[in-house]
């Protein structure tokens, strides 16, 4: 959806193509298949880890309480609520889609006729769309709440969960909780209309895994927080074996009655397993073939023949693996098939996000300086056009060469940088950065010290490969825990861009051209941070703060208004380093695309990792792990709202070639070959200095 004339003039066919293309970048959907509503979308999502129990407010609780007034058993009442909720959600979704189509037609008519009646209708219709979108999102939140409440057990059953859930002890009288199992601290505060609740503070590895089966584990955000942080106290193999043991001991004995503990433990095990696959496949299963093989073998041999969940899990593993392979290889054909199968349940979320972008789009906190001037209207209109959703070129990182050919980048040199506008370069650099950022996972930012990531240093030295990094130093994960090292690639790309910025400047052969290029990079960085692309902004700042670049004579003749941008960038850097959650304040991050600085985020996580993870009794501090999970969850939050700028493949190819050329450059060596990098002393003044020096030397010998 567009507003104020942006993106108008599309035919219905083009609009539908854009809508289908946006399906790929939509976030997780809670519109599940009516055949197996209890098995779709088990992952709680980043909001659960970030907000915790506050993810579901009192309005959600009261709405669900008044939903389904049948006076029957508890299980039947829950089923009635779920049926009624599905019907309401389906009806509201249908009405919302109809209104969107009508809105799109009005936009096209307004572009062609520009009649006053249509212009007056558009604002009213936008307001109605906002209300309808809010209602649909609220119903989805209620549905998520219903899913989260299922299959949990009371706390006194948790010790039994640890003992592999034997049938003869499952329905016994309440048992006391062992202090070695879980450690609770009682705090009094309002939550769900209760005067006080028990807040988990610490627990043994077995106790923390058992707490996944607690009745409120999903509602408190514990499950998502656990999936982010469990590697600090157990390996992937240990966690998988724990789940498989629970399934093995309860699957054959679980009855159809959902109120029995056996059935709850069995179903919760499947839910947790699927949530783990949905959320962490790329960091746990894709990098560990033995772990994936163990899971597939167990499902095929013991689950598939007894329970329908087995086939669903195998299908989920295949689909997730296919999506990962397709993403890595940029397989447009598979993407098209996925669009067709997912269209019905993801289109709504794409349109919700797009509408929010149009209504809420604003500049960042720092304002554009007058020296930058207004952005051309045609450039704004290019922001959301049909080409904005075209597939990106086949490449996996900034360092890879694009197949698109351009007039030799080496011959063009920095000329193209000065000819293109700062806004154009900002957009294309943002798309290149997004291409790298979308592949990272919150878990990638954990335990970064073991990968050699340090403050004021980007990853590892260039002469040292990622394979040679020792994981024995400062390793906070268990020794047998497999860790994906994608963060190193992310930081190396950042380092390459910083080196490229410095190299482009010092290789300019005239001071005038250096001033032009310095101004261009400063304006690009300003555009980036105002568009919330803090990653590229900080990378450009690092290049400009290179010791050689900072000593260039060109800085002295740089226009004052442009030079002020350097101080703005430093202020942004201080802002980003001041608080680990500064970019999550307010609701802007939910509607506006954001790319954080990977190195700054890694440093924030390292700060939280400082200190011991265990108490004196050996229990692991869950409060510490919960805070870490909350900080890294913003990675998934930002990935839900991608940038939709129109890609310029030729310009991207040029930028890739230049970045690749200079990524390992020695800035001091490049600067030494260019006289423009040195302060020039006039010949007469230079001759006079020599004479004065000789005169002083003679005086010392007399």
Q: Give dist(CA 487, CA 493) in Å, integer.
A: 10
pLDDT < 70 regions, the chain: 1-41, 68-77, 113-115, 164-197, 254-258, 305, 307, 325-414, 457-473, 676-677, 679-688, 702
Question: At 54, phi and psi to the nearest 5?
Answer: -75, -5
Q: Tell me: the pLDDT tens digits for 449-497?
A: 999 999 874 444 444 444 444 444 689 999 888 899 999 999 999 999 9
pTM of the predicted model, to two decimals? 0.75
In CATH, the number for domain 418-455+480-683 is 1.10.840.10
- Residue 233's nearest CA partner among 615, 642, 510, 500 is 615
Q: What is the pLDDT of residue 489?
A: 95
Check if the beta carbon of residue 629 is closer than 8 Å to that of residue 280.
no
Where in the chain are the domains? 71-150, 152-165+180-186+195-323, 418-455+480-683
Q: What is the pLDDT of residue 366?
A: 42
Q: Give dist(CA 543, CA 163) in Å, integer.
A: 57
Asked if 152-165+180-186+195-323 and 418-455+480-683 have one fold, the answer is: no
- Residue 44's nearest CA partner among 172, 160, 217 is 217
Q: What is the pLDDT of residue 697?
A: 77
Q: Give dist(CA 682, CA 268) in Å, integer.
A: 80
Stretch (H or E) spanning 219: none
- Residue 138's nearest CA partner among 71, 88, 194 is 88
Check if the beta carbon of residue 263 is closer than 8 Å to that of residue 247.
no
Reported CATH class of domain 152-165+180-186+195-323: mainly alpha
Length of the chain in terms of residues written: 702
Q: Tell me: the pLDDT tens digits for 204-256?
A: 898 899 999 988 888 889 999 999 999 999 999 999 999 999 988 888 776 66
String of DSSP letters for 554-595: GGGGS-HHHHHHHHHHHHHHHHHHH-TTGGGSSSHHHHS--B
Q: What is the pLDDT of residue 562?
A: 93
């Amino acid at each position: 959806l567009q507003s104020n004339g942006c993106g108008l003039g599309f035919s219905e066919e083009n609009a539908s193509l854009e809508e289908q293309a946006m399906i790929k970048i939509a976030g997780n959907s809670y519109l599940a298949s009516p055949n197996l509503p209890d098995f779709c979308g088990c992952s709680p999502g980043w909001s659960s880890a970030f907000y915790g129990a506050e993810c579901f407010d009192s309005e959600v609780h009261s709405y669900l309480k008044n939903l389904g007034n049948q006076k029957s058993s508890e299980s039947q009442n829950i089923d009635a609520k779920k049926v009624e909720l599905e019907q309401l959600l389906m009806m509201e979704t249908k009405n919302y889609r109809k209104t969107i189509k009508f809105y799109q037609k009005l936009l096209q008519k307004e572009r062609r006729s520009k009649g006053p009646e249509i212009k007056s209708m558009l604002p009213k219709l936008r307001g109605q769309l906002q209300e309808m979108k809010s209602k649909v999102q609220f119903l989805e939140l209620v549905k998520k709440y219903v899913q989260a409440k299922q299959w949990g057990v009371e706390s006194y059953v948790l010790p039994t969960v640890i003992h592999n859930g034997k049938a003869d002890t499952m329905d016994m009288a309440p048992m006391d909780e062992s202090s070695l199992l879980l450690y609770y601290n009682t705090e009094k505060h309002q939550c769900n209309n209760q005067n006080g609740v028990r807040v988990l503070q610490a627990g043994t590895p077995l106790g923390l895994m058992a707490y996944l089966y607690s009745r409120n584990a999903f509602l408190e955000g514990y499950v998502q927080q656990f999936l982010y942080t469990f590697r600090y106290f157990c390996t992937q193999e240990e966690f998988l074996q724990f789940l498989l043991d629970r399934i093995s001991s309860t699957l054959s004995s679980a009855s159809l009655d959902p109120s029995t503990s056996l059935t709850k433990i069995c179903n919760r095990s499947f839910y947790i397993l699927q949530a783990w696959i949905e959320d962490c496949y790329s960091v746990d299963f894709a990098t560990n073939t033995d772990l994936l093989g163990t899971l597939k073998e167990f499902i095929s041999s013991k689950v598939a023949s007894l329970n329908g969940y087995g086939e669903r899990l195998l299908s989920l593993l295949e689909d997730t693996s296919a999506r990962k392979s397709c993403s890595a290889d940029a397989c447009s054909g598979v993407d098209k098939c996925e669009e067709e199968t997912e269209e019905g349940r993801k289109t709504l979320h794409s349109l919700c996000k797009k509408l929010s972008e149009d209504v809420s789009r604003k500049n960042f906190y720092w304002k554009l300086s007058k020296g930058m001037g207004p952005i051309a209207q045609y450039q704004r209109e290019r922001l959301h056009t049909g080409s904005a959703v075209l597939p990106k070129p086949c490449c996996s990182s900034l360092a890879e060469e694009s197949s698109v050919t351009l007039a030799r980048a080496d011959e063009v040199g920095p000329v193209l940088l000065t000819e293109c506008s700062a806004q154009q370069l900002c957009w294309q650099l943002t798309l290149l950065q997004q291409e790298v950022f979308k592949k990272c996972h919150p878990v990638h930012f954990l335990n970064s010290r073991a990968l050699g990531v340090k403050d004021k240093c980007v990853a590892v030295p260039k002469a040292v490969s990622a394979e040679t990094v020792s994981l024995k130093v400062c390793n906070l994960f268990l020794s047998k825990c497999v860790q994906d090292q994608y963060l190193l690639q992310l930081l190396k790309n950042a380092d390459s861009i910083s080196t490229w910025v410095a190299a482009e400047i010092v290789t300019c052969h005239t001071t005038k051209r250096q001033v032009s290029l310095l101004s261009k990079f400063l304006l690009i960085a300003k555009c980036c941070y105002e568009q919330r692309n803090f990653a590229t902004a900080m990378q450009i700042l690092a290049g400009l703060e290179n010791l050689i670049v900072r000593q260039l004579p060109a800085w002295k003749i740089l226009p004052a208004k442009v030079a002020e941008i350097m101080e703005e960038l430093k202020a942004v850097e201080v802002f980003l380093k001041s608080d680990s959650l500064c970019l999550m304040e307010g609701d802007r991050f939910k509607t506006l695309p954001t790319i954080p600085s990977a190195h700054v985020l890694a440093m924030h996580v390292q700060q939280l990792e400082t200190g011991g993870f265990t108490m004196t009794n050996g229990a692991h501090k869950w409060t510490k792990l919960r805070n870490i999970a909350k900080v890294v969850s913003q990675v998934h939050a930002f990935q839900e709202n991608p940038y939709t700028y129109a890609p310029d493949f030729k310009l991207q190819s040029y930028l890739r070639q230049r970045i690749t050329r200079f990524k390992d450059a020695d800035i001091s060596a490049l600067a030494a070959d260019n006289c423009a990098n040195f302060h020039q002393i006039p010949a007469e003044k230079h001759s006079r200095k020599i004479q004065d020096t000789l005169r002083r030397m003679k005086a010392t010998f007399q």
